Chains A and B, each alone.
Chain A
């Protein structure tokens, strides 16, 4: 019985596994091999996960009102005009928030 297996690829140790596609395979072993062939041969790869598609739990906007749609900008340093250079993680966080803000506007 062939199932669909979702494939998650990690480029380097310590990074997240990110979803990169799926494969049809009769079982886990074959799924791992097919995934390695299709997703591990052309890009540098440290690890691959395969997960049966029907084991993935999903909720979407029909089921629940997700957050992230109202402006809570006052919580973030981007709301304040700072003249000095910030610590790296603060700058990263700022960039993320600016990005989120942009997406809210274009959504």
Chain B
């Protein structure tokens, strides 16, 4: 019996919810990154961010492809899904202030630290396809973080510092939604944005061993990495706590729209409209594929 057939209804729902949040984060962030193509400060930085976007799209595909084992297909997930059925963190969807490279860099830093933490929590996943794919993704992630930090350290030195601070102020609350529980996909009788259901599914994800850390644990770990690093660059971080007291993500630190529950900022609905436009306009019934599905 294959791993997917061994799952009961509860297991399927947990797997589906976990993979959606992983895939949607990667897809939407990559979609935003590509806006920098031909607009980055130099050819080199353009290519570097394009490469990162391409990696993240590839990772999104790896996770959407796990959902294929549950009977979904990429076309339906990417082009046919209503925008409020997407489960990414609002960090991924926010538009860039025009020409604000510091925003792209801070966003990438905050996201890539979180990604590193969540990937290591998936290394020993009880679901074999997840565990298999983590290594492949980790191999590509190292340089994303290095790239972000290289830029952060250079921007922090002079006039870039103010831009970094503005980006941190704007993005930090949204980055915290990376660690919010995710409402399961809307079923026939269920409404989206149901908090108790989100918490229950999140508990299942950990209990069933799909991921071996809770969101709260990963959030603390993220804060204890990100806060001291930002402070070392003399940036002020809108978060309480310190190394001794410990860090925690609290409710008042979070923005109104958290993404994970299907509530998104207006910018998301515009972005969704934009990337599904051609598909709808041409009355497509298939998505273009230029590569075979991942192994």
User: Could you say which residues of chain B place their CB within 8 Å of the CB of A34?
Assistant: 44-45, 47-48
Q: Is B273 an interface residue (CB 8 A)?
A: no
B150: which of A2, A30, A41 is its contact (CB, 8 Å)? A30
B48 contacts across to A, CB distance below 8 A: 33-34, 37
Residues of A within 8 A of B147 (CB): 33
Q: Does B221 contact A (CB under 8 A)?
A: no
**Contact across chains for A25 and B143 when beta carbons are under 8 A apart:** no
Partner of A2, one of B42, B47, B146: B42
Q: Is residue A38 contacting chain B, with contact meaning CB distance below 8 A? A: yes
Do B154 and A33 touch across chains, with their CB atoms under 8 A apart? no
Chain B 141-161 interface mask (CB, 8 Å, partner A; 1/0): 001001100100010000000
B52's nearest neighbour on chain A, judged by CB, is A37
Closest to B48 in A: A37
| A36 lies within 8 A of B143 (CB) | yes
Chain B hits for A33, CB < 8 A: 48, 143, 146-147, 150
Which single member of A24, A26, A41 contacts B51 (CB below 8 Å)? A41
* A38→B154 contact, CB < 8 A: no
In the complex, whether B43 has a CB less than 8 A from a CB of chain A is yes
Q: How many residues of B contact A (CB 8 A)?
A: 12
Interface size on A, residues (CB 8 A): 14
The answer to whether A26 and B44 have CB atoms under 8 Å apart is no
For residue A41, which residue of chain B has the nearest CB?
B51
Contacts of A36 in B (CB 8 A): 143
Chain B residues near A37: list those with CB within 8 A: 44, 47-48, 51, 143
A29 engages B150 (CB within 8 Å): yes
Residues of A contacting B45 with CB < 8 Å? 34
B276 nearest CB across to chain A (Å): 30
Measured between alpha carbons, how far is A53 from B147 in the docked complex, in Å?
Answer: 23
Report the Cα distance A41→B150, complex, angstroms. Answer: 19
Task: Give Cα A33 to B45, complex, Å.
Answer: 10
Measured CB to CB, the closest approach of chain B to A29, in angstroms, equals 6
A30 in complex: contacting residue of B43, B143, B154, CB < 8 Å = B154
Shortest CB distance A106–B (Å): 35
Output the residue of B43, B47, B150 with the most chain A CB within 10 A. B150
A-chain residues with CB within 8 Å of residue B146 when the two chains form the complex: 33
Highest count of chain B CB atoms <10 Å: which of A2, A24, A34? A34
Q: A2–B48 Cα gap in the complex (Å)?
A: 16
A25-B51 contact given A33-B143, A33-B150, CB 8 Å threshold = no
Give bound CA distance, A34 to B43, whole Å: 10
Within 8 A of B (CB), among A5-62: 23-27, 29-30, 33-34, 36-38, 41
Q: A33-B143, A37-B51 are in contact. Are A25 and B154 (CB under 8 A)?
A: no
Known A-B contacts: A2-B42, A24-B43, A33-B147. Give 8 more (CB < 8 A). Answer: A24-B42, A33-B48, A33-B143, A33-B146, A33-B150, A34-B48, A37-B51, A38-B47
B contact set with A: CB distance below 8 Å = 42-45, 47-48, 51, 143, 146-147, 150, 154
Can you name 27 A-B residue pairings with CB atoms under 8 Å?
Answer: A2-B42, A23-B44, A24-B42, A24-B43, A24-B44, A25-B44, A26-B154, A29-B150, A30-B44, A30-B150, A30-B154, A33-B143, A33-B146, A33-B147, A33-B150, A34-B44, A34-B45, A34-B47, A34-B48, A36-B143, A37-B44, A37-B47, A37-B48, A37-B51, A37-B143, A38-B44, A38-B47
